[in-house]
Amino acid sequence: MLELEDAFARKFQYLRLSVTDVCNFKCQYCLPDGYQPEGRKSFLTVAEIARLTRAFASMGTSKVRLTGGEPSLRKDFTQIIETVANTPGIEKVAMTTNGYRMAKLAHEWRQAGLTAINVSVDSLDPRMFHQITGQNRFHEVMAGIDAALTAGFSQVKVNAVLMRGLNDNDLEQFLSWIKHNPIQLRFIELMKTGEMDELFDRHHVRGALIKTQLLHLGWQQKMRAFNDGPAEVFYHPDYQGEIGLIMPYAKDFCASCNRLRVSSLGKLHLCLFGDYGVDLRDLLTDDSQIGSLQQRLSDALVDKKATHFLHEGHSGMTPNLASIGG
């Protein structure tokens, strides 16, 4: 069996699959002017997603995250979940969402086979939420989190991008929220992408500052399991929730890389901050192409680099995270 393994003996059990570039939010760090359609793009169809997932699963992938853009904007999103969840070998189907349709659809997604949800909430202050995301929908998103917990998701992960001057002083408020809620709150360090101007210099804060505060408050770091992703996770006996820190600028961040990305147009990206994507779409038209697809995936992995080059200020060709599925 061909396996998804690179030259550094890293294995890739985790696929992040973007199902659309379109987003209805205008997050300052991602699409500050909103999604700008460039002609009519045709995103991967359900049949193409089925073939792609089958090929990845046959090479050892067991977890798929559906992302975008905003994945729930696709009318056939529930069918996509079902298709991925029913692929032999796939054990976990997760999604990352801005949460705006979650209150209505969390139950349906759960029934379709979704096993985990990450939702973005950059601030617990509705006005700051509006300022950062360009959308006045804080209460809808919070209702969506409640709906997800009621629908049976045992833990919901919440992503907050850390931004100096906007939400970097909100730790106390976030902590009191997770005291009695089974939320894993993940602070993501702002990453510099191609389209970003001076925003990065203005707002970037190191996650290490939060780590220092957490340790000071008696939070303890969890041991990492072999297969864990790059988040450093902290727990506290008095809190039902947990804190995760995602610090892409930290040393050794890439050593635990276990993920590959496929864009909504069917390009394989070996790194979020890589320079190019390997086109897979010509091998997604017919079930009989699975052997060639497996071979292309295996060949592509030879080029995966040990690490990204963010430290050197090189953020690759990624204009923003929505464009290849953050």
Site residues (CB under 6 A) for ligand SAM, limited to 89-128: 96-98, 120
| 30 lines the binding site for ligand SAM (CB under 6 A) | yes
Tell me whether residue 161 or residue 268 sits nearer to ligand SAM (CB atom).
161
Among 23, 55, 166, 243, binds ligand SAM (CB under 6 A): 23
| 68 lines the binding site for ligand SAM (CB under 6 A) | yes
Half-sphere exposure of 253 (CA within 13 A, CB side): 19
Look at residues 283, 255, 270, 248 and name the one whose alpha carbon lies nearest to residue 317. Answer: 270
As a whole number of angstroms, the distance between CA 68 and CA 18 comes to: 5
Look at residues 103, 93, 165 and name the one whose alpha carbon lies nearest to residue 132. Answer: 165
Among 21, 70, 232, 242, binds ligand SAM (CB under 6 A): 70
Among 147, 191, 272, 280, binds ligand SAM (CB under 6 A): 191
Tell me whether residue 67 or residue 184 sits nearer to ligand SAM (CB atom).
67
Using the contact rule CB under 6 A, the part of the chain among 77-85, 124-132, 185-193, 268-276 near ligand SAM is: 185-193
State the chain's maximal CA–CA distance in angstroms: 57
| 190 lines the binding site for ligand SAM (CB under 6 A) | yes
Look at residues 273, 296, 258, 270 and name the one whose alpha carbon lies nearest to residue 52. Answer: 296
Neighbours of 276 (CB within 10 A): 12
- Those residues whose C-beta lies under 8 Å from the C-beta of residue 317, and which sit 6 or more positions away, are 194, 274, 275, 276
| 247 lines the binding site for ligand SAM (CB under 6 A) | no
Q: How far apart are the first and last CA of the chain?
A: 29
Tell me whether residue 297 or residue 310 sits nearer to ligand SAM (CB atom).
310
Q: Tell me the C-alpha to C-alpha distance, in Å, between residue 125 and each of 77, 114, 138, 166, 271.
A: 30, 29, 8, 10, 33
By the 10 Å C-beta count (0-12 exposed, 13-18 middle, 19+ buried), 257 is classed as buried
Using the contact rule CB under 6 A, the part of the chain among 101-109, 190-198, 249-257, 277-285 near ligand SAM is: 190-198
| 29 lines the binding site for ligand SAM (CB under 6 A) | yes
- Those residues whose C-beta lies under 8 Å from the C-beta of residue 122, and which sit 6 or more positions away, are 27, 128, 129, 132, 133, 160, 161, 163, 166, 167
> Cβ 206 to ligand SAM, closest distance in Å?
13
| 24 lines the binding site for ligand SAM (CB under 6 A) | no
As a whole number of angstroms, the distance between CA 277 and CA 253 comes to: 22
By the 10 Å C-beta count (0-12 exposed, 13-18 middle, 19+ buried), 237 is classed as exposed
| 19 lines the binding site for ligand SAM (CB under 6 A) | no
Using the contact rule CB under 6 A, the part of the chain among 227-235, 250-258, 279-287, 318-326 near ligand SAM is: 318-326
Among 53, 67, 115, 294, binds ligand SAM (CB under 6 A): 67
> Cβ 288 to ligand SAM, closest distance in Å?
33
Tell me whether residue 59 or residue 132 sits nearer to ligand SAM (CB atom).
132
Amino acid at 156: V
16 three-class SS: strand
Site residues (CB under 6 A) for ligand SAM, limited to 136-155: none
| 205 lines the binding site for ligand SAM (CB under 6 A) | no
Using the contact rule CB under 6 A, the part of the chain among 2-10, 187-195, 216-224, 298-306 near ligand SAM is: 187-195
Among 159, 167, 184, 294, binds ligand SAM (CB under 6 A): 159
**Sites of contact with ligand SAM (CB under 6 A):** 23, 29-30, 67-68, 70, 96-98, 120, 159, 161, 188, 190-191, 193, 321-322, 326
